[in-house]
């Protein structure tokens, strides 16, 4: 029986394992998942306490515009665990001049599409608004070369829009520096709209109109194209699971064979063995000294880890993988008794532009955004983000200092000066891949090198999408590649 080894037990590796498991119904194929840490899920981790808090260490949601997580949930029969955000409270604030200012209604990514909210918002100055409106007249770029987010936004909408909107809102998704971020690799749609409509604002307005005209998909099962599912939750832009994002990890694990998923199982190196009969086998050297043989290997590990694993097989490939930067960040979640905190929590939280000179990047009012994160209506959870491309050092503060920073910033910004009843700190060292200028060229080089090693597949957030749905898709796609390859070698 052909064997596929999957390195990494994050959502990419688990999705891949599940795709192999399903393929077993038709093909004789075995799988093994190796995860170096002592738990599965990778960056997805929900801590659930005995007193009823559910705290996200990493992602708190997934975007509902991509189908792959719905498809996975449908196959696992757990669509009924998907929940929407509490959109009756959907407001985002941006800290400008030490005041929380509401993001005006109608902002699509970085573009205001509704006139009145744009005219009346105090998020932008009048010169800033006039500059943004100039987008209608700024000529489109002549060449189709890649560009940084910063250069694009400054060119089309002005610096104030970059500082107050694009940087915290859009670069924030990638924990990135907009001066380095490749627009083609992250938001190619912005470049396409400029080329097609001559103006980003015009393009967004057309996109909105088209969306309104499209048949509505009111539920997540509608989004996935599933039929007959019992799932009723209204589709919101960001969605999660009743028990937190960990639910999807637990559900996939439940569907796998327990004796094929190994934790505390670090792979140190992968070697390629060319048989005299033309066959290719891969040998995984494990930290405990064992050697595992496989016919195909899916590297579902972050690109920098994959570089170390693969360097003996292909040094230039390892070099390109190492060119994808990974940056560090941390989250601090604080739980309070509601009655102790004089704040209405009417919103999902706030973002902090770099220019405000603050030590935190953003703050989510988790218990407003999601139901089921606190034991009852008498508690709140606030989640503070630190680090990212330009302030990575903040992610490595010792616990007491990080806690002090979070509390002092919440006091200054939200006026909270009481002690939390719980604090949770999660650090993500080298946890966020950066799609910087040149990322697409790097991907091409990676593809070229990988093509020299039949049976090797790379998947995960380091390459073509950091979001959880993209990771699931890449894990599933890798398995399609494995099946095609093994089919040809049988």
Among 61, 364, 391, 436, binds ligand FAD (CB under 6 A): 61
Binding part of the chain for ligand FAD, among 368-376, 397-405, 410-418, 462-470 by CB under 6 A, reads 462-470
What letters, b where the CB count within 10 A reaches 16 and e where it falls short, cover 179-208?
A: bbbbbbbbbeebbebbeebebbbbbbbebe
Take residue 456 and report the two structure tokens written for it.
């090797």
Q: How far is the CB of 294 from ligand FAD (least distance, A)?
A: 13
Rounded Cα distance, 323 and 62, in Å: 27
Which residue(s) pair with 100 in the sheet?
A: 95
Indicate whether 311 belongs to the interface with ligand FAD (CB under 6 A): no
Indicate whether 9 belongs to the interface with ligand FAD (CB under 6 A): yes
Q: How far is the CB of 340 from ligand FAD (least distance, A)?
A: 27
Among 46, 331, 368, 476, binds ligand FAD (CB under 6 A): 331
- Indicate the residue among 50 and 259 with the shorter CB distance to ligand FAD: 259
Indicate whether 468 belongs to the interface with ligand FAD (CB under 6 A): yes
Indicate whether 44 belongs to the interface with ligand FAD (CB under 6 A): yes
Contacts (Cβ under 8 Å, ≥6 apart) of 307: 317, 318, 319, 321, 322
- Indicate the residue among 121 and 473 with the shorter CB distance to ligand FAD: 473
Site size toward ligand FAD, by CB under 6 A: 37
Distance of CA 455 to the CA centre of its chain: 27
Indicate whether 300 belongs to the interface with ligand FAD (CB under 6 A): yes
Q: Could you give the angle at which helices 149-156 and 188-197 cross, rounded to 10 degrees?
A: 30
Neighbours of 304 (CB within 10 A): 17
Indicate whether 152 belongs to the interface with ligand FAD (CB under 6 A): no
- Identify whether the C-beta of residue 72 lies closer than 8 Å to the C-beta of residue 479: no
Among 78, 103, 267, 335, binds ligand FAD (CB under 6 A): 267
Q: How far is the CB of 202 from ligand FAD (least distance, A)?
A: 29
Continuous segment of H or E residues that includes residue 130: helix 126-133
- Identify whether the C-beta of residue 409 lies closer than 8 Å to the C-beta of residue 382: no
Q: Identify residues 422-461 at the interface with ligand FAD (CB under 6 A).
A: 428, 431-432, 460-461
Q: How far is the CB of 114 from ligand FAD (least distance, A)?
A: 26
- Indicate the residue among 12 and 199 with the shorter CB distance to ligand FAD: 12
Indicate whether 16 belongs to the interface with ligand FAD (CB under 6 A): no
Indicate whether 186 belongs to the interface with ligand FAD (CB under 6 A): no
Indicate whether 69 belongs to the interface with ligand FAD (CB under 6 A): no
Indicate whether 10 belongs to the interface with ligand FAD (CB under 6 A): yes
Helix, coil or strand: residue 229: coil
Rounded Cα distance, 335 and 380, in Å: 6
- Identify whether the C-beta of residue 459 lies closer than 8 Å to the C-beta of residue 300: yes
End-to-end distance of the chain based on CA atoms, in angstroms?
10
Among 4, 5, 6, 7, binds ligand FAD (CB under 6 A): 7
What distances in angstroms separate CA 155 from CA 100, 152, 339, one per listed residue? 27, 5, 47
Q: Which residues bind ligand FAD (CB under 6 A)?
A: 7-13, 34-37, 42-44, 58-62, 266-267, 300-302, 305, 309, 329, 331, 428, 431-432, 460-461, 466-468, 471
């Amino acid at each position: 029986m052909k064997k596929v080894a999957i390195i990494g037990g994050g959502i990419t590796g688990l999705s891949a394992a599940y795709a192999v498991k399903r393929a077993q119904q038709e093909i004789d194929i075995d799988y093994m998942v190796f995860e170096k840490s002592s738990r599965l899920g990778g960056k997805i981790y929900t801590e659930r306490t005995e007193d009823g808090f559910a705290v996200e260490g990493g992602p708190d949601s997934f975007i509902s515009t991509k189908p792959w997580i719905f498809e996975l949930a449908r196959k696992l029969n757990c669509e009924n665990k998907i929940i929407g955000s509490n959109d009756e409270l959907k407001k985002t604030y941006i800290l400008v001049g030490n005041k929380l200012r509401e993001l005006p209604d109608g902002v699509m990514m970085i573009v205001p599409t509704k006139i009145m909210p744009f005219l009346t918002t105090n998020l932008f100055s009048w010169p800033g608004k006039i500059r943004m409106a100039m987008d209608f007249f700024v000529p489109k770029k002549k060449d189709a070369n890649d560009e940084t987010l910063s250069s694009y936004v400054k060119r089309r909408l002005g610096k104030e829009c970059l500082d107050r909107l694009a940087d915290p809102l859009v670069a924030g998704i990638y924990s990135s520096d907009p001066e380095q971020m490749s627009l083609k690799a992250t938001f190619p749609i912005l470049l396409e709209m400029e080329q097609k409509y001559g103006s980003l604002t015009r393009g967004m307005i057309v996109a909105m109109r088209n969306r309104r005209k499209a048949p509505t998909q009111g539920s997540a099962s509608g989004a996935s194209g599933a039929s007959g599912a019992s799932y009723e939750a209204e589709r919101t832009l960001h969605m999660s699971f009743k028990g937190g994002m960990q639910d999807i990890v637990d559900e996939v694990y439940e569907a796998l064979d327990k004796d094929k998923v190994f934790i505390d199982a670090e792979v140190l190196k992968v070697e390629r063995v060319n048989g005299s009969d033309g066959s290719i086998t891969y040998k995984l050297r494990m930290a405990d000294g064992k050697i595992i043989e496989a016919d195909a290997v899916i590297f579902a590990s972050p690109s920098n880890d994959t570089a170390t694993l693969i360097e003996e097989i292909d040094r230039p490939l390892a070099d390109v993988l190492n060119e994808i930067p990974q940056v560090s960040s941390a989250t601090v979640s604080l739980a309070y008794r509601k009655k102790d905190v004089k704040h209405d929590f009417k919103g999902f939280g706030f973002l902090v532009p770099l220019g405000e000179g603050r030590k935190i990047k953003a703050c989510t009012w988790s218990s407003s955004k999601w139901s089921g994160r606190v034991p009852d209506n008498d508690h709140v959870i606030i989640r503070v983000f630190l680090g990212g491309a330009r302030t990575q050092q903040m992610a490595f503060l010792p616990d007491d200092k990080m806690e002090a920073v979070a509390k002092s910033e919440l006091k200054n910004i939200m006026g909270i000066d009481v002690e939390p009843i719980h604090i949770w700190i999660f650090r993500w060292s080298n946890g966020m891949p950066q799609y910087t200028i040149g990322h697409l060229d790097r991907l091409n080089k990676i593809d070229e090198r990988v093509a020299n090693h039949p049976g090797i597949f790379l998947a995960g957030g380091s390459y073509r999408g950091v979001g959880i749905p993209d990771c699931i898709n890449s894990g599933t796609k890798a398995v399609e590649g494995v099946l095609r390859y093994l089919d040809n070698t049988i």
